[in-house]
Amino acid sequence: MKNVVILGSTGSIGTSALKVVDDLPDRLRVVGLAAGSNVGLLREQARRYRPRLACLRDPAAAAELEATPGLPCEVCSGEEGLVRLATMPEADIVLLAIVGTGGLRPALAAIRAGKDLALASKEVLVMAGSIVMREARAHGVRILAVDSEHSAIFQCLDGRPIESVRKLWLTASGGPFRDPQRWPKHRFAEIRLEDALQHPSWVMGRKITIDSATLFNKGLEMIEARWLFDIPIDRVEVLIHPQSVVHSMVEFVDGSWLAQLSTPDMCLPIQYALTYPERVPSGRVQTDFVKLGALTFEAPDRERFPALDLARQAGRIGGTLPAVLNAANEVAVAAFVQGRLSFAEIPERVRRAMEAHRVIEEPTLEQILEADAWARRVTLEI
């Protein structure tokens, strides 16, 4: 039996993780749940799964939850509460699914407490990959990918040395604007919020769905892969695969390729991370290749989607620049959601913030967080 803490339990990854717990009651037990401000759903989850500790980042929301009659758990709040959950003595693994930079300190706390980390928050490795992976090695813990793409690569590598790899290939659906005939570059300024939220393959939160539409999501995944698999970012590539059945591939030095395939369902990579190194039977994901038919691939359009080149630049230069890329993108996406910025302007604002930044090559955690705050201020000014 593994004791699991889920940070971000009310989001799409967190709710999928709880489905996996439902499927495997003899193997997985929830001991901690955390959310941002969704009191109602966290209350339901606490009553159903009866964790020992629940946390809401918003203190007012935590007070509301704590006032619930008969609540079967203790309640805490804020970043201190997240760190407390991440370091629970009884926890075996922490699933981190907090969108944005808020997961960085809890992630490091979990690692330093000797907890394996099932990682669904790209920002943790994008911002501080060098520090996080160094801490994981020092404390002998595993960083297990929850993103379907990185889980696929992890499964394909299966312990093989990175020296045997020519390239890692991350697949991308291409998002709702993949078709250049329907969405030529000059029409990007016309894109509305509701257009950007129509992801063709996955049901996700608003921020990550818009990132998938701009391909910033894939750019962040390139940087994440660079750290997860200790490989130069110039050996990480992106391939558009509209069916989202091949979740990613590894090209080896001898010319062989390995791919991991399945019907799109986030429960599969979540279950693999939570039960690793075992493969546990599940009837949730069924893949019928006859029904799926053809699988197609194409090169990404870097002119219409400059996010990929911006991410490669940030990953190649390193230091504080990836944190600036991530923060500037968060601010630009928020401005687009609020109607203050066009879809086409998102990557341009990120580019300008990156150009204005003076990179610190080997930053401390404090310098990374300072770069993040600097980028948010500068992007708002831009």
Tokens representing 375 are 């980028």
pLDDT band at residue 202, thresholds of 50, 70 and 90?
low
pLDDT band at residue 215, thresholds of 50, 70 and 90?
very high
Tokens representing 94 are 């922490």
**Alpha-carbon span 107 to 227, nearest angstrom:** 15
pLDDT score of 382: 84
Tokens representing 363 are 């930053």
- Cα angle vertex 205, ends 204, 209, to 5°? 70
Residues 353-367, mean pLDDT to the nearest whole number: 96
Rounded to whole angstroms, what are the CA distances from 271 to 21, 105, 240, 295?
8, 24, 25, 25
pLDDT score of 84: 97
DSSP characters for 147-214? SHHHHHHHHHHTT--GGGEEEEEEEE---TT--TTTS-GGGGGG--HHHHT--SS----HHHHHHHHH
Prediction pTM value: 0.93
pLDDT score of 259: 98
Q: Which of 343, 279, 275, 278 is nearest to 307 (CA)?
A: 343
What is the per-residue pLDDT across 70-106, written as a single tens digit (0 to 9) for each? Answer: 999 999 999 999 999 999 999 999 999 998 788 999 9
Q: Which residue has the tokens 């989607």?
A: 305
pLDDT score of 199: 78
Tokens representing 110 are 């979990």
Bridge-based pairing of strands 143-145 and 2-7 is: unpaired
**Alpha-carbon span 45 to 90, nearest angstrom:** 19
Tokens representing 225 are 């892969």
What is the per-residue pLDDT across 238-286, written as a single tens digit (0 to 9) for each? Answer: 999 999 999 999 999 999 999 999 998 999 999 999 999 999 998 888 8
Q: Give the CB-side neighbour count of residue 246, counting CA atoms within 13 A.
A: 21
Q: Which of 360, 377, 374, 373 is nearest to 131 (CA)?
A: 360
For residues 114, 119, 123, 127, the Cα torsion angle rounded to the nearest 10 degrees is 40
Rounded to whole angstroms, what are the CA distances from 4 to 58, 270, 273?
22, 12, 11
DSSP characters for 346-380? HHHHHHHHHHH----SS--HHHHHHHHHHHHHHHH
Q: Catalogue the E-assigned strands of the chain.
A: 2-7, 28-35, 53-56, 74-77, 93-96, 116-119, 143-145, 165-172, 236-240, 246-252, 257-261
Q: Which residue has the tokens 């929301």?
A: 61
**Per-chain mean pLDDT for the chain:** 94
pLDDT score of 295: 94
What is the C-alpha end-to-end distance of the chain, expressed in Å?
A: 51
CB 85 within 8 A of CB 53: yes
pLDDT score of 292: 85
CB 121 within 8 A of CB 205: no
